[in-house]
Structure 1
C-alpha cells in the first residue's frame, strides 16, 4: 500500500468492472449463425483465433473472415458485437461508484481484448460513458498484452501519469504481478465490483 493516494486508477474490464459470461456469448453467437456453442468455442478459442486477435496480430476484417471460415458461415460486426454485449453485465451500483471515483482521480480501463470490443463499449455499457471516452486501452490496439510490462507503461504514458502514482486492478494474478513489475501499485480483485476495500486502503 502507499501513503500517497494514486492519481490514476486503471481497471481491468472482464471480471473487475463487468461480469463476463462466456457461455452466454457462445450461445448467443451460435444461435445467431445456426451453430452450437461448442462449435463457436472451438472457432474462437480452440483455434487460437481469439488470442491472435486480442494480441493485435489480425485486423478485424481478417478476424471475422477467419471466424466465418471456421464456422462455415458469415459473421459480421453487428452479430459479433451483439453476442459480446450480451455477455457483459455492469451493475448500476458499479457505474455509480466509478463516476464518484472519477471526481477524485482519473480512471481508465486496460483490457486484453481486440479492437471490436473497444468500439462497442459505449453502446454496451452506457452507464460508464462518456466517462471512459478515450480512456479504454485494449491489447489489440496497443499490440501488447498483459502481463507484459510494456502495455502498462504505454497506457499510463498516454494518460499522462507516472507508474508510482497509478493503481491497477485485475482479477488475474499474473496481470497484477506484471503491473507491479512495471512500477505500478496493483491489487487482485476477487469478484466483479469487489474493489471498495482496496480503494479505501489507497485513500480512495
Structure 2
C-alpha cells in the first residue's frame, strides 16, 4: 500500500475552492453603484481584457481602477471594488469547517489568479479561516504570472519559504494542478467540500 507523503503545508486556490464566485452578482453590484448598464460593466471588465491585464500584473491598481471608472462613467476606489468583489464571492461553509478542523501545525496559504486588490478582499470573504492564513495570500497580479505557468508555483514557494515536497496544492482547474505537479508539488483537483474531504483523507490530513 502506497504511503502518502508527509504534508506540512497546504496552498489553496481561491475561486472555486474556498469560495463560490458569481460574475453576474459582481457585475450587478458595480452596475447598481455606477448607474450603468449591466452589459456595459461586463464589456469594460471582461470583454475588453482589462481584468486579465490586471490579474497578470501588467497594469497597476491605480490604472486598473481608473480605466474601470472611465469605462462605466463613475469613479471606482479600492473600497468600492472590494465591496463589488465581495458581493459576488461567498465562502463555502462546509469547506471552511473542514479547514478549521485541520491540525493547527499545518501552514496554510492561497495562490489565486487575481489582481493585487484580492489580497485585501480574500481575508474578508473567508473570515473564519483568515487567522490560519496569516498574510500568506498570493495573487498572480503580484507575481506577474498566472497559473498554470510553472514559474508561478516556484515563485510562490520561494516567497513563502516552503518546499514543494511537503506542500499540497488544490485547485478546481486541472490544468493548474498539472502546472503545480510539474514543479514537484503534490497537487489535486478540488471542486467542492466533498472532493476536498477526499483529498484530505488521501493525504491523511483528516
1:49-73 Cα deviation digits (max 9, x unpaired): 0000011111111000011122222
Counting matched residue pairs gives 204
- Consecutive unaligned residues of structure 2, counting only runs of 5 or more, are none
Name which of structure 1's ranges 14-23 and 149-158 shifts more when overlaid on structure 2: 149-158
Instruction: Tell me the residue number matched to 1:47.
Output: 48
TM-score by length of 1: 0.93
How many Å apart are 1:123 and its aligned residue? 2.7
Instruction: Tell me the residue number matched to 1:138.
Output: 139
Q: Kindly report which structure 2 residues correspond to 1:1-204, keeping only aligned pairs within 5 A, or say none.
A: 3-191=4-192, 194-204=195-205
- Consecutive unaligned residues of structure 1, counting only runs of 5 or more, are none
1:74-125 Cα deviation digits (max 9, x unpaired): 1222221111011111134322321222514211110000111111223333
d(CA) in 1 for partners of 2:59, 2:68: 12
Report if the CA contact (8 A) 2:41-2:72 is conserved: yes
In structure 2, the CA distance between the partners of 1:111 and 1:102, relative to structure 1 (3 Å rule), is farther
How many Å apart are 1:2 and its aligned residue? 5.7
Moved over 4 A (4+): none
Tell me the SS of whatever aligns to 1:195: helix
How many Å apart are 1:6 and its aligned residue? 1.3
d(CA) in 1 for partners of 2:181, 2:5: 16
d(CA) in 1 for partners of 2:3, 2:133: 25
Tell me the SS of whatever aligns to 1:175: helix
1:126-173 Cα deviation digits (max 9, x unpaired): 212222121111001111211111111111222222112211111111
Report if the CA contact (8 A) 1:92-1:127 is conserved: no
Report if the CA contact (8 A) 1:7-1:105 is conserved: yes
